[in-house]
Amino acid sequence: MGIKTTRYKVLVVDDDATINEMLNTYLNRNGYDVSSAYSGTEAVLLMKTQIFDLVILDLMLPGLSGEQVLEKMKEIRQIPVIGLSAKDDAKSKIELLRNGADDYMTKPFDLEELLVRIEVVLRRVYANSYFNTSVIHCGELCLDTVKMSVTLKEQEIHLTKNEFAILQMMMEHPQQVFTKDMIYEKLWNESLEGTENAINVHISNIRKKLSAIDNSKQYIKTVWGIGFKLEI
């Protein structure tokens, strides 16, 4: 299995500004795209409007606690979580993992160990989508980010620039549900504001081009009332 070439997006949630800024700087330096939240409420708002590959979540937060944030996340989308806490007893760790966290670290923690744990969680969670330098594979669907090419069952598919970008985003986040607004903001860095029909047209075109080669399944599924997701 190779390494993803685009930067993983990480959300750091900790009300301690010193720790938050330290993690932000360290992870940025190690190739991650990092955003910060200083309360549980702020974290939930960010996760509703942005796409994150991983969340580093402190449990002792003002407003919504870390445990409550984990519950809210289940309503938004599946995002891997590494929990942080000053509690080091086995009961706290077990409870956190049962509530949905993928890993757990006790404060104070070693930055290098955290970095390794992040890599392990990302590798495990995104195992269905594997990366080899510039190539992303999802089942028999293959996308090359350097050659800007897409193949399905070894047959080439010709996509426009925007169609390619949408499919790339979905292949980098298999099983992730994307709202139309998330797709639009991710691709064009602005709000949707009434142009959601453009997204519908792009999705429809991608589906037609994929089904021309394989009509046995729908590769992009509509999640009614929410958006779209890739079906591997």
pLDDT tens string 153-163: 989 899 988 89
The predicted pLDDT at position 188 comes to 66
CB contact at 8 A, 146 and 196: no
159 CB burial (10 A radius; 0-12, 13-18, 19+): buried
Tell me, yes or no, whether 90 and 151 share the same domain. Answer: no
User: End of a domain among 104, 125, 146?
Assistant: 125
pTM for the whole structure: 0.59
Residue 172: which CATH number? 1.10.10.10
Residue 115: which CATH number? 3.40.50.2300
Distance of CA 58 to the CA centre of its chain: 19
Tell me, yes or no, whether 114 and 215 share the same domain. Answer: no
Tell me, yes or no, whether 95 and 154 share the same domain. Answer: no
Q: What is the pLDDT of residues 49-73, one digit of tens each?
A: 887 889 999 988 988 888 899 888 8
- List CB contacts of 52: < 8 A, sequence separation 6 or more: 9, 10, 11, 35, 46, 79
Q: What is the pLDDT of residues 184-202, one digit of tens each?
A: 877 765 444 446 678 888 9
Taking each helix axis from N to C terminus, what angle separates 17-29 and 111-125, rounded to the nearest 10 degrees? 60
Query: Containing domain of residue 166, as a range?
Result: 130-230
CB contact at 8 A, 46 and 73: no
The predicted pLDDT at position 1 comes to 32
Distance of CA 158 to the CA centre of its chain: 26
Tell me, yes or no, whether 50 and 90 share the same domain. Answer: yes
